[in-house]
Amino acid sequence: MADKLRIGIIGCGGIANGKHMPSLSVFKEDVEMVAFCDLVEEKALKAQGEYGAEGSKVYPDYRKLLEDKSIDVVHVCTPNRSHANISIDALEAGKHVMCEKPMAKSAADARRMVEAAKAAGKKLTVGYQHRHKPEASYLKALIERGDLGEIYYAKAFAVRRRGTPNWGVFLNEYEQGGGPLIDIGTHSLDLTLFLMNNYKPRMVVGTTYKKLTNPDCANPWGPWDEKQHTLEDAAFGFIVMENGATITMEATWCINSIEPVQEGSCALHGTKAGAQCKNNEVSINKDEFGRLVDIYPDLKTKGVAFYEGIVETPSITEARRWIEAVRNDTAPLVLPEQACVVSELLEAVYTSAASGKPVYF
């Protein structure tokens, strides 16, 4: 492997510009972005101009990018529908792959990706950056120490009072596969399963709703085209795991709730203590010396007067850990088998909502 990891970016839209490329650019000593691909050539050229290494190239077809044997890693930042095919092609071309969330539009595609990574002997991970928050790292260590005991009930929630994305392909069912459940609910469910370290579901019941059809309902990004918006605005799931643990989940873009926004959040209830990670704040609840105690750990790095402490966003932490996993040949924090279970559960909620029946694993 070269001194620097050579990275190709496939899909140069919102998530590539908002997360992947800025985060990778922090690690100039370790990586260089050498190839950019987008169906809209202007987007790829713009990304190259801003982030490309000397001699970097632009491709209109991702298959041509994959023919470059000097590329070590590919970041797949396209709509959900194409995640699986592009990731599988990249793995088979000998590249390590970081695929943006969710892993795939369908559970079957997610399983194909897992098998492709195994067959190729290459690393595959999925962009669930909420795992990389300091709050998640703190709770994970606390749970592994046994402070919560057996976690038998959890709640995964990603609730926007108003927050329907009306740009790009967010409202395109063919490209995305679903609404808030697959868009933001996927993050909260992934975080919950990760903290519980429980990936064996037994049964799922789900419901979906599209009730708030007024496109002028104080949406922060303005109204949407009701003819194009055929997706749910709210989805709910009831999940029972093989060991008897229960998970409830909520995912909404638009709902009449007093809370304005709760994304990437979860609540965990154990036999020794409970914990909540909500909007980047952590709380621990337990009994101690015959009293109920609530603990709010300060997880923000502090400096001193005139000097700030070190700050690393979850997206930068995600990029750093991914680079380290590839360079050191270690497992990424988000394993493809884990992300696959998330996709299977999302699909089960949609399937149950459509059929009115439970889905059994």
Full residue range of the structural domain in which residue 169 is found: 132-314+342-360
Question: What is the phi/psi pair of residue 289, to 5°?
Answer: 55, 40
Q: Say how far residue 13 (Cα) sits from the centre of its chain.
A: 17
Is the predicted pLDDT of residue 288 greater than 70, yes or no? yes
Confirm if 175 and 321 have CB atoms less than 8 A apart.
no
Query: Could you say which DSSP state residue 361 is in?
Result: -
Average pLDDT over residues 160-171: 94
How far is 301 from 258, CA to CA, in rounded Å? 31
Whether residues 209 and 220 share a domain: the answer is yes
One domain, residues 29 and 158: no
What's at 280, amino acid-wise? N
Assess whether 111 and 147 both reside in one domain.
no
The CATH code of the domain that includes 10 is: 3.40.50.720
Mean pLDDT (the chain) is 95
How many alpha carbons fall within 13 Å on the CB side of residue 30? 16
Number of domains the chain is built from: 2
Give the separation between CA 250 and CA 237, rounded to whole angstroms.
7
What Cα–Cα distance (Å) separates residue 215 from each residue in 209, 218, 233, 255?
Answer: 16, 8, 12, 13
pLDDT (tens digit per residue) in 189-213: 999 999 999 999 999 999 999 999 8
pLDDT at 266: 97
Residue 111 pLDDT more than 70? yes
89 and 180 in a single domain? The answer is: no
Find tokens 């709730």 and name the residue: 257
Quick one: pLDDT band at residue 96, thresholds 50, 70, 90? Answer: very high
User: H-type helices in the chain, by residue range?
Assistant: 14-15, 21-25, 41-51, 62-66, 83-92, 107-120, 134-144, 173-176, 180, 186-196, 314-328, 336-355
Pair 138, 119 in one domain: no
Residue 17 is predicted with a pLDDT of 97
pLDDT at residue 2 in the model: 60
Strand-pair partners of 32: 6
Torsion of CA 73, 77, 81, 84, to 10 degrees: 10
Give me 266's structure tokens.
Answer: 């979860």
The answer on 277 and 289 residing in a single domain is yes
Write down the pLDDT at residue 284.
Answer: 97
Beta-ladder partners of 260: none
**Residue 184 and residue 106 share a domain:** no
Do both 162 and 69 map to the same domain? no
Domain identity same for 240 and 94: no
Tokens 């790009």 sit on residue: 168
Q: Is the pLDDT of residue 345 over 90?
A: yes
Mean pLDDT for 306-331 is 91
Q: What's residue 180's pLDDT?
A: 97
State the CATH number of the domain containing residue 160. Answer: 3.30.360.10
Q: What are phi and psi of 206, to 5 degrees?
A: -135, 155
In 10 A of CB 234, how many CB atoms? 23
Tokens of 81: 């529908």
Q: How far apart are CA 261 and CA 277, in angstroms?
A: 13
Question: What's the pLDDT at 311?
Answer: 76
C-alpha–C-alpha distance, residues 350 and 250, integer Å: 13
Residues 181 and 230 in one domain: yes
| DSSP one-letter string for 177-191 | S-SHIIIIIHHHHHH
Name the β-bridge partners of 153. Answer: 246, 269
pLDDT at 292 over 70: yes
The yes-or-no verdict on residue 305 having pLDDT over 80 is: no
Burial of 320 from C-beta contacts in 10 A (0-12 / 13-18 / 19+): middle
pLDDT at 1 over 90: no
For the record, the structure tokens of 49 come out as 């101009």
pLDDT of amino acid 215: 83
29 and 57 assigned to the same domain: yes
108 and 168 belong to one structural domain: no
pLDDT digits (tens, 9 = 90+) for 214-269: 888 899 999 998 888 999 999 999 999 999 999 999 999 999 999 888 999 999 99
